[in-house]
Structure 1
Amino acid sequence: MEYVLEIENVSKFFHGLVAIDDLTIKVKPGQIYGIIGPNGAGKTTLFNCVTGIYTPEEGTIKYKGENITGMEPHKIAGRGILRTFQNIRLFKEMSVAENIMAGYHTKSKQKWYHAIIHTPFYKKDEKKAWEKVEELMKFFGLSKYAMTPTGDLSYGNQRKVEMARALAADPELLILDEPAAGLNENETKELTEIIRSISKMDIGIMMIEHDMEMVMSLTDYITVINFGKEISQGVPSFVQDDPRVIEAYIGSDDDEDEE
């Protein structure tokens, strides 16, 4: 499998306005792929198209070769595309272990009656689930918080719980929407190493992030978008020096003259 995700000539419109304009992006297994651009560029809209929240008007989105364009979000998640959000979405009263378990259950094959009569399948699946939860808590350094209500954790640890919950569903593509938002410098460094470790599991990662130092040091490949359209694409060193990217972020001399 050469690509885990193929976004081909995708466009999305809202009330006649172009939010995504003919974008083509291809992500390989184990690749860390950055999506950057100024505020309002269309980055989150793109992620919402990939995860089924929006349906693009033009183009196709393929996951492992299957056309998932317009597929319902829970079906896309069930196939192995999981995401985190810019604003953390956790069950704050539930413990860390319970939050991560919730992620596992999106992939569970249990029926409702298995839990009532505690069938052998139920017992086997629950054992497997808790082993997965323990493994992920250890991976993210969350074991000591297993029974702590998630809402009582620091912001950085809540980010880890959200990512652990996504990984509990065994994704092959993990979509991260500003994972470093709200984190301090040490938390950002720790998160960077965690994301690197996840990619080594052969999981493709797509990431929106405004921390340019993190993006340039972490990603393998980047697409820059502005007003929904690609303005640059390539390895970080190329994108960083592209005049079109510099202009999109800080404006051109012509813009300053107009002011």
Structure 2
Amino acid sequence: MTSGHRIETVGQIGSTNAELLRRLASGEAAEEGTWLVADRQSEGRGRLGREWSDGAGNFMGSTLVYLRSSDPAPQTLALVAGVAVYEAISKFLGRAQGLLLKWPNDVLLDGAKLAGILLERAGDAVVIGIGVNLAYAPDLADRVAAAIASHGLSVDRDDFAEELTRRMAAELSSWRKSGLGETISRWTIRGPHIGAPLRYVGVTDTIEDGTFAGIDQDGALMMRLANGTVRVIHAGEVSLIGEEGA
């Protein structure tokens, strides 16, 4: 597929991720770099089956990446997207001290969820869904949410979409040309500090506490336990202890 950066906007849709997955399944032409952005979503979702509010004025959109044999591991696109979203937000919010990446797919503002990322794979394609609370912070069952508007800033959704498109293209290019190590480095300086207290909830609801020990060469999170051993986490839910709603 050739590369492009076309932004298609729709008034209302079930889910931008689901629509791009449908297009892929039906064989409709969709170039890498295509973005589908919705004014409203009726079936938006996040990781682990969570619902994601369709608050009017927020950014809700998805894009496509076609995997190449030379690409780093597909799951590390979550780190690519995280850095891109962080940088796009920073363009409008400034270098807010409280802006932080949380592994594997969130951006926090003062400990509350400001943005989320959802990756879904279909063959050699990965659909990356992104939601950013520009105007409205939804009520989430398991955590506190934040919005840029609550900081007294009005961000136009289309202006944000343009900025995010540019940032995503740049981070994707770096991931491919400079390698995963560069992406991990860029993520790490925007993420929690080494030693930050963490809580891990596994897929079987086991709970462990530890401290952040970095991101490994596969993009997995490393958590140092009280006995000094390091657990490598590929899946499950990790929260920062002290984070609002953790």
TM-score by length of 2: 0.27
Larger RCO, structures 1/2 (Cα 8 Å, 6+ apart): 1
Bigger proportion of residues as strand: 2
TM-score by length of 1: 0.26
